[in-house]
Structure 1
């Protein structure tokens, strides 16, 4: 196996890795596709020797909503090749996995053992284990299972100079022994042991159901053990590159009950959620009126529609397992006793439950289909304040204030999320091609941060911090921020890993990047005229949600991506390339030819438009592109022959035996397969040439 990472510096690859599920677009100067940890280590060693080392950012599924994996420097894709389940210990209920493995694929392989890895985000069918560890992900069920760090036993990571370092809980004595070892690893253990960390209560961290994300100092030294996993989980790749994880697994619940409760208003639903936590649910998920209305577009809607009928208000989904699942009557009585719910129904069938949860998983994508505005604006739901979390009891009043903030700004929005842990997902509709609308990103962010602080919460409650790190001084006391920076300095003193996010090293002078500092997609899309944007509307509608990167071969989605695993051949990759081409149309003939070759691989099956939440339609976009492309480029012979295919078929039917001899060459020439043999009246052509009947 080669010892050098496969590097790509072509425009196609760099463009595909310039976006994720956020509002930002940063084009890396190169993209690496490592096969193993040894290749990454070798590259890190070489980079470390440079007087000015390059910044390096690891990437998983590209599902981040705040630019976590975006950079203008070096991107290292861990999903493409480092995506295996290495080992499962069923008795110990642990597994060893590479960081690029998709979480749902992991759980599918574990299911035969009756086990699963609990962190459960709506994107788990394309989000990777490494990415979920890096953001300390949670999602549905976190009231019981907590965040990802609770399910991690051991992490193998590479430091800035390529040194392999193991993060795992050890005794104070073992930590001291490791700190006395020579080399970079020993130095890091020593730096961690030398840090004086106040009691958790004195760190000034927000008191939330899920805790604080981003260097868990409150969990570093607990009960006589030192556990650096607390720092690495939620570090968003700012401390090193994760190359292997040992994770702890849980039994798949044998009995699951789902209750659907309907409400006149979202406020009523949230008030009830505070009370219903006491009934022992594993999850309480919520839809507001707008999101529920969009849910009707989900292919899975009939199951939820059957449960709520013609209801157009808000809904809670309450899931129960174990003993709590055996007392559905008591749960129903409690819901009825609060007097807020207007209807309740238990969903018993596994298929119906699965379909309803699918509507919930589709919620963010379905909201993104909304487009509002006049002739000069096309606003779409946008991720930038989408994961605020507050103490559960504060949720109703916080949401009321949040709604007022967005209403005062004149923004359309929908709300949904994890009512059991005080986390709400909100995507206000903005047209980011408009400079005034882009300014609202920073304005609204600041107002929401102030509101969240008033309610004792955190603006990055679930999806990681990304480009929102500049506001950390408004969240934590100065002394705690300095401790966090000491952690960054101990791991990455030269600020190589994902710089500008979370924290800077102690001796760094440049500030953290703010929400309006990096280039936004809309800023680049504005180079394209409004008329052209509307002609290619579905390309500009793509928000990077990544459902087209679904891991399963059974999922109806782009076959060219499934066959190759190449993100450039996915619908998301193709529309990114189209948007780039439109932004400087004719300026790079080589890139235009590369895009033509890429789209030629599209089978025009339309799986994308049928499954993509925002209905990206690559076949339609492909037709528009080639219609334009062939005004400047000669069409191949196969196109001209295809345009006369009917005439040729009539002629072939007159000489079927002779035409049959040319069938295979015709398939190659036309780029087709399995052409039917010509049929017609028996002819005597071959007799004339060969003398044989």
Structure 2
């Protein structure tokens, strides 16, 4: 394979473990993984497999819920390189693309033509075109645009035995020409025609005539009345017949305007009953449903609350979207429906919106169904297995009632029912017991009964997720023996040796075999962990099982998760891939490729590129917290062993910063002297491309003591504790000084701990959790008087503040002082908005700003308070949705990480900073974010929000005023003259003005010492 294939060939344990499962209940360890660099290389990989008789699995985003993307086979992952949009024909509204392109990226590139691909599954940010073709995906927009098969014009496909050809609708003349040419292609076309002719009556009567029939092979596309369309017949075959190399797609115009109508109902059954009446009077782009159970779960998980607050009265809702060439046209379509059903938009059970942002949030709430229902707060595990059935819309209400009765009979109550009700497609997750023999047997009995139920309604086992292993064995209950026999004949025609994704759809593995858990799953015994996992019953094992494979960590834009995947496009470096390896590490299966437990090199290597940004904690729909899992793993992996040098050099940074007080200028000189710095970086495991940040000559605590302010009483309601984190104390004391000015202006009395304290962040991020716990306990002793008095603890560094709000409670959930600390810790913006006197107004600044939220603030603290405070201060903020800065604490400094660190930064943050107007501010509260911006040749210096507000207190002054610049030089006391000049220049470049404390803020000095 390595000799012949231009690609990355991986048969190592780590790669095999990362690809061992998809989004389903099933698990099969692959033989190996090939990541081809071109479509031709992928075809060559399949040719090599054919020579050795090895099974092949074509894989896209790996989000399949039926087990289509897990197999004991050679996995061909098309997503990393084979992801190009090759051509667009705007006149004919078609395009040609490779199979690995992600749907959102495809539509982003098509947007300049005013076109898009119509079907849009809820996983549109990570599902690939090849996967959509494999599953015949649909999504909410299928209401208007149909299934993927309805939008495929032609496919270039490859059979296991090497035939590569384009397929599509076949006229009689073309068919005769293909047969006359002979060869393997002629054999396939003749065989398909014979199957279609032989089973024509069964196909016409046995295929449900409903909008959402995805189960089985599309033999109906081979009927004469459907143009003998081979491309559409192969769509939905789940990689069991061919591999898709290229696709020619039919496109639709991007609507000019949209309007969303939300109707409330007393229950989901009543909502379903009303669907046929609604469809009589309108043709919406979408008609989606959310039930009261899902809304309850959202509220319990504090997710999508803004969307729910906008929903009308009711316990279940239908969401209808209308499009038009103008807002008026879209609104009129919604209002016509309301008049037809005798409702008014002023009714309490009706909401009409033409606000795109608001509508997007509403639809995101619906799309979040799988994640919200996957891990309910009541700690029940819910699973796929019957998440995708479909019936005719006019029979939906009756089907849902019977399905609910079946839930009750089996004791599977409180399951949410939602989905694409305009096409009769129902989604749900069910609390199956997949850990015991009796539970698995009940699971099997339920799906058999459910299959009979949906067949009795003339419905389909699958309405969009396909069959795979979850429904393959049940197809006979829906189609009957003759049609299942026809499926087998089509499979034998294309893949006689059963090598293409075997065990799925045809000759399927049993529905209760190859389970990810199952009665034979025996993980290693419980391990005493440092974190207590209070949201996972105190179990690391259960925390790892949070990942259900949705794959949102494989998105390419928006949010924070997952920067290492965005930088590498590697499954192993996604949150999901790492979770899979941690699951394999638990040792529950005898065939697990990861066999060394906590000492696993494969898991260590996968976690090495995790930035511990915590983006997954908030952006993952099920709340996987890989930063915590990484810290836990490192603690056990290196227990009793020598650690990597950066764990000592960077993990113990608070101690080295404290020791630097003996001679900060000497320390800075050593850290930046060319030869000594290079040697020091090598010994410390720091990348040679990184510059060590300068220690301030006067830390904040020394400045505070010299200020001589009396310590206020903890019980004084005006008192707040300003937390002197390592970065604001030893590196950027000007930020803490600016915060003092702003807090005092707001009427607060400031207390500062009299001795050096630390949150333990650097020890946590390097997995030195025993030390971190001791550091936290010491901090709690120092803070106890204020904790007991209920005094607010104001944090300036987001990562340190997040430790108090998240890491500390998860490490010591039983400690009452830790609970108090988490409750009383707040950001500067939260303190100023929520604790300042009502008559206080932030200083006016009237400036534009590019603002980078810190990842930990995004994930743990929230940024709404900062946004509101900047608005009140007159800052016109462009808050970036650009993802992680790429530095992420110690990560970007460690040797071997610099290239990826910069690549991640260049994905969003750094270009945005370079594009910022010279007169605009760049605001980033995180020390890492500011450092990355300054060291990445952006030509800009980022400031903390505290500095920006302090600028408002100073008032701006012309940058070229000579007396002002002279005063700045006299107030400055940098380590050397070059730093003073650089600080002054940076002040002008960053702000366009010079204030009385500009150089002081930049260089952290007070008097000229050059």
TM-score if structure 2 supplies the norm length? 0.63
Deviation at 1:564, TM superposition (A): 0.7
In 1, the alpha carbon distance for the partners of 2:462 and 2:363 equals 24
Measure how far apart 1:590 and its partner are. Answer: 10
Does the C-alpha gap of structure 1 residues 683 and 305 become closer, same or farther in structure 2, counting only changes over 3 Å?
A: closer
User: 1:415-440, CA deviations, whole angstroms, 9 ceiling, x for partnerless residues?
Assistant: 11011111100101234233332223
Distance 1:166-1:264 versus aligned 2 partners, 3 A rule:
same
Quote the residue 1:226 is aligned against. Answer: 228
Distance in 2, matches of 1:295 and 1:106, equals 31
8 A contact 2:587–2:597 mirrored in 1: no
1:512 alignment counterpart:
508
Shift of 1:604: 1.5
Which has the higher mean CA deviation after the structures are superposed, 58-67 or 108-117?
108-117
Going from structure 1 to structure 2, the CA distance change for 1:422 and 1:110 (only over 3 Å counts) comes to same
C-alpha change, 1:393 and 1:410, in structure 2 (3 Å) is: same
Structure showing greater Rg: 2
Deviations 1:61-80 (A, max 9, x none): 00000100110121111112
Partner of 1:394: 395
Distance 1:47 1:617, change over 3 A: closer
Query: Taking structure 1 as reference, are residues 406 and 548 closer, same or farther at Cα in structure 2, changes over 3 Å only?
Result: same
Gaps of 5+ in 2: 529-535, 672-676, 699-972, 976-1009
Equivalent residues of 1:35, 1:82 under 8 A apart: yes
Distance 2:620 2:244 in 1: 31
Q: 2:544 aligns with which of 539, 548, 557?
A: 539
2:334 to 303, 306, 328: 328
Matched, 1:443 2:445: yes
Residue 273 of structure 1 and its aligned partner are, at CA, apart by 1.4
- Tell me, yes or no, if structure 1 residue 613 matches structure 2 residue 621: yes
Q: Deviations over 1:106-129 (max 9, x none)?
A: 111111211110111101110111
Question: Quick one: structure 1 residues 151 and 2, their matched pair in 2 at CA, closer, same or farther if it must change by over 3 Å?
Answer: farther
Give the Cα separation in 1 of the matches to 2:620 and 2:974. 51
Contact 1:381 1:429 in 2 (8 A): yes
- The verdict on how the C-alpha distance between 1:298 and 1:359 changes in structure 2, with shifts beyond 3 A counting, is farther
Partner of 2:462: 460
Q: Distance in 1 between matches of 2:73 and 2:370?
A: 30
8 Å contact 2:93–2:115 — kept in the other structure? yes
- Segment of structure 1 superposing worse, 312-321 or 205-214: 205-214
Match of 1:294 in 2: 297
What are the within-5 Å matches in structure 2 for residues 324-363 of structure 1?
325-336=331-342, 343-363=349-369
Structure 1 residue 282 corresponds to structure 2 residue 278: no
Aligned residue pairs, count: 667
Greater relative CO, 1 or 2 (CA 8 Å, sep 6+): 1
SS at match of 2:96: strand
Are the counterparts in 1 of residues 15 and 572 from structure 2 also a CA contact under 8 Å? yes
The 2-side partners of 1:484 and 1:476 are apart by: 10
The aligned counterpart of 1:34 is 36
For the Cα contact (< 8 Å) 2:179–2:186, is it kept in 1? yes
1:108-257 counterparts in 2 under 5 A?
108-195=108-195, 196=197, 197-199=199-201, 202-223=204-225, 225-257=227-259
Residue in 1 that maps onto 2:90: 90
For structure 1, list consecutive stretches of 5 or more residues without a partner in the other structure: 373-377, 504-510, 685-692
Cα offsets for 1:522-578 (capped at 9, x unmatched): 5575424467784313311111111111122x3321211111111111111111111
Match in the other structure for 2:581: 577
Contact kept, 8 Å, 1:255 with 1:321, in 2: the verdict is: yes
> Which residue among 516, 521, 534 is the counterpart of 2:517?
521
Structure 2 equivalent of residue 380 of structure 1: 381
Is the CA contact 1:3–1:38 (under 8 Å) kept in the aligned structure 2?
A: no
CA distance in 1, matches of 2:90, 2:661: 64
Q: Does 1:25 align with 2:27?
A: yes
- Rounded to whole Å, the distance in 2 between the matches of 1:103 and 1:630 is 41
CA distance in 2, matches of 1:64, 1:591: 31
- Structure 1 residues 514 and 417: alpha-carbon distance in aligned structure 2, compared to 1, 3 A threshold: same
Where in structure 2 are the equivalents of 1:598-637 lying within 5 Å?
598-637=606-645
User: What CA distance in whole angstroms lies between the structure 1 residues aligned with 2:164 and 2:68?
Assistant: 23
The residue that corresponds to 2:61 in the other structure is: 61
Q: What is the CA-CA distance between 1:651 and the residue it aligns to? A: 3.6
Query: In structure 1, the residue corresponding to 2:109 is in which secondary structure?
Result: helix
Q: Counterpart in 1 of 2:913?
A: none
C-alpha deviations, 1:435-492, integer Å up to 9, x for none? 3322232111011111111211112121100112112221123332222222212211
**1:654–1:683 CA contact under 8 A, matched in 2:** no
Partner SS state of residue 545, structure 2:
helix
- In structure 2, the CA distance between the partners of 1:636 and 1:405, relative to structure 1 (3 Å rule), is same
TM-score, structure 1 length as denominator? 0.90
* Cα distance, 1:565–1:291 mapped onto 2, change above 3 Å: same
CA contact (8 A) 1:392 1:419 kept: yes
1:638 to 1:140, Cα distance in 2 relative to 1, 3 A: closer
Provide the secondary structure at the position in 1 that maps to 2:68: coil
Deviations 1:349-391 (A, max 9, x none): 111111111111111111112154xxxxx53121110011011
Contact 1:380 1:430 in 2 (8 A): yes
Deviation at 1:648, TM superposition (A): 2.7
Which of 424, 428, 431 in structure 1 is aligned with 2:430?
428
Change (3 A) 1:59 1:632: farther
Q: Are residue 652 (structure 1) and residue 680 (structure 2) matched?
A: no
Distance between the aligned counterparts of 2:598 and 2:621, measured in 1?
Answer: 32
Q: State the alpha-carbon separation in 1 of the partners of residues 466 and 514 from structure 2.
A: 17
Mapped to 2, the partners of 1:560 and 1:43 lie a distance apart of: 27
Aligned to 1:679: 696
Q: 1:556 aligns with which of 551, 554, 560?
A: 560
Shift of 1:602: 1.7
What's the counterpart of residue 489 of structure 1? 492
The alpha-carbon deviation at position 23 of structure 1 amounts to 0.9
Residues in 1 aligned to 2:637 and 2:226: alpha-carbon distance in whole angstroms: 67
